[in-house]
Amino acid sequence: MIPLFFSILPLCVIPIQETPKEIHNFAHCLNSEKKIEQVIEWEPLISKYFKEEDRAEALLIVYCESRGKPTAVGTNTNGTKDVGLWQFNDDTWSWLKSKLKITSKRTNPVVSTAVASWLYYNDGNHHWNPSSKCWRTNARN
């Protein structure tokens, strides 16, 4: 049985043909592996809410948004804040709280991951587009 850690890491295969595209893809894959390793502690939680084929991307989003820190806070130029593992914006969280009847804070990793999953599967991953250059893989665009 393959350990869970290795089952979600992208499989980086050394390119047979050393074309610029193949070398770029290999380097991108290795970079993604390093990012996932930094937030692998969240894999058991993410595996509860995300399909197997989406777990690597979810972990990459967590890495790129908060570096895996559930108390991370970012302040935007318009004064709003992005908070938690998934960096939910004040406006987005307010809308989601009302829609999903959320009573917890954005810093709660379980609740925020459940909400992120709901948003991901019901409205797509575009909510995290500002950091997509960091997390987007070639496999899913």
- pLDDT for res 1: 36
In whole angstroms, give the CA distance from residue 52 to residue 125: 16
Which CATH number does the domain 4-135 belong to among 1.10.3470, 2.40.50, 1.10.530, 3.10.100?
Answer: 1.10.530
Contact 33, 10 (CB under 8 A): yes
- What pLDDT, on the 0 to 100 scale, is given for residue 26? 57
pTM of the model: 0.80
Cα–Cα distance, 60 to 136 (Å, whole number)? 8
What are the 10-residue block averages of pLDDT along the chain, 141 residues in total?
Answer: 46 67 62 88 97 94 96 96 97 95 96 97 91 71 36
Q: What is the pLDDT of residue 14?
A: 63
Side-chain half-sphere CA neighbours of 113 within 13 A: 22
Closest CA to 33 of 140, 139, 135: 135
